[in-house]
Amino acid sequence: MTLIALNVTHDPKATSWLGSANGSDFPIQNLAYGRCRPQHAETLRCGVAIGDKVLDVAQLASQTEWLKAPGVDTALATLAAQAAAEDLRKLMRMGAPAWHALRVALFLALHRDASVKVQQELELALHALSDVELATAVQVGEYTDFYTSFYHARNVGIAVGRGGDVSPNFFWMPIAYHGRASSLGLNSSFRRPMGQAIPPGQSEPVFGECQRLDYELEMAIYVGQDNAWGQPVSMAQSESHIFGMGLLNDWSARDIQFWEMTPLGPFQGKNFATSLSPWIVTMEALAPFRLPFAREATYPQPLAYLDGEALRDHGGIDVNLSVSLQTAQMRSRGLQAQQISQTNFKHQHWCVSQMLVQHTIGGCNLHAGDVLGTGTISGPTPEEAGAIIELAHAGQKPISLATGEKRAFLSDGDVVVLRGTCEREGAVRIGFGECRGEVLPSIGA
């Protein structure tokens, strides 16, 4: 893995001629990618989030003035824009040089020093976010969900009465299961699932609607490069295969999940809904927020194929994350969602490059646009739990809300909002936007 060098696009003093970009989640130092449908368009096209607007790359790809700035690799940036305009996965497959070339060209075109001609050209391709329909950033082909938080694994074991011991294999490799890409959605509303579960104190299952519905605070890793079937990706190659990251909510039917997970992994307890945020923040945008990746001496150190000097130097990523909950009662009273937890991605026991390497080590072929979920992100303190099963101790200690309501698990009408930001001294704060989802009554209710 190679750290992306800081460059002109990370300049903390740089601002945009578009005023709403400055101080927002989406300044010119971010330039997150997504898909949108402007009001005049018949199909989805690639867009770049900038302030309170989205830059229509499909429209921009047919224009040329913005590509003429000094420092722009015009030929490569042109090809990259054309690829992105057609399908973001085509840009992904062009590789890191093309990603960088397009990023630099967009940065300079949106910079406060851009010429009047460039500004006028870009204004034609800008749409208010409120006026476009957003979709998932790519059409996801495959989805795999990992299990990489020691604190989550420990907390859930304690909450359900299994003790705080974590399975031995957790410390030796990133564990995962293959999820269901068809039920991935953007800010999705979904129905409470039906299924089998064993009620407390009973020995036989019953069929009915889920009684223990939960969220999971996760991040999405977007694969940017294919690897050939049978050809593993090494740690040295790993980050060139990762395009960027977003937010992910792995909704979980805990009662259904725990009954079915003997002996195999999750199935119906997970396959009914997974929510994605609309934007991919690129690995280049995240470069100022990299951290050393260290493992406590009391834990086994990674095997050689999951280790390396570069990993230890900058394998971690500093992302502040939060979970907020808005009940139906809150909405009826005009109240905003209430934050119920916050944590940081740096607490994960395994990093993004290790997850990708582990996925391919047996020869599995990943494709551009595939999504890897990081698994629930929890921190060392109770307030940093990434799921309500942890916060409410498996329903034994319901959390209290400002309205006087309590939640042991999620109720119909609840909206869960995930947010993420990166900030540090000497860098401009960037954000991931929101990942939002609402629980609707079950089809059988």
Residues 147, 124: one domain?
Answer: no
Among 135, 166, 189, the domain-final residue is 135
Q: Mean pLDDT lowest for which of 105-109, 116-120, 163-167, 240-244?
A: 163-167
Q: What is the pLDDT of residues 217-233, one digit of tens each?
A: 999 999 999 999 999 99
294: pLDDT confidence band, cut at 50, 70 and 90?
confident
Please report, for the domain that includes residue 84, its CATH number.
Answer: 2.30.30.230
Mean pLDDT within 21-48: 94
Q: What is the pLDDT of residues 139-198, one digit of tens each?
A: 999 999 999 999 999 999 998 888 889 999 999 999 999 999 999 999 789 999 999 999
Burial 151-181 (b: 16+ CB within 10 A, else e): bbbbbbeebeeeeeebeeebbebbbbbebbb
Q: What is the pLDDT of residues 46-63, one digit of tens each?
A: 999 999 999 999 999 999
pLDDT at residue 119, rounded to an integer:
97
pLDDT at residue 394, rounded to an integer:
95
Residues 101, 154: one domain?
Answer: no
Residues 423, 341: one domain?
Answer: yes
Residues 129, 177: one domain?
Answer: no
Please report, for the domain that includes residue 321, its CATH number.
Answer: 3.90.850.10
Q: How many domains does the chain have?
A: 2
pLDDT at residue 445, rounded to an integer:
58
Domain-located, residue 1 = no
Domain-located, residue 285 = yes
Residues 213, 354: one domain?
Answer: yes
Domain-located, residue 326 = yes
Q: What is the pLDDT of residues 349-385, one digit of tens each?
A: 999 999 999 999 999 999 999 999 999 999 999 999 9
Domain-located, residue 3 = no
Q: Domain span at residue 75? A: 8-135
Q: Which residues are catalytic?
A: 152
CA distance 378 to 284: 25
State the chain's mean pLDDT as an integer: 96
Task: Using a cut of 0.85, tell me whether the model's pTM lies above it.
Answer: yes
Mean pLDDT within 68-97: 96
Among 135, 159, 186, the domain-final residue is 135
Residues 127, 177: one domain?
Answer: no
Residues 253, 308: one domain?
Answer: yes
pLDDT at residue 164, rounded to an integer:
87
Residues 270, 387: one domain?
Answer: yes
pLDDT at residue 36, rounded to an integer:
95
Q: List C-alpha distances in Å: 80 to 16, 65, 88, 315, 338.
A: 22, 16, 9, 27, 41
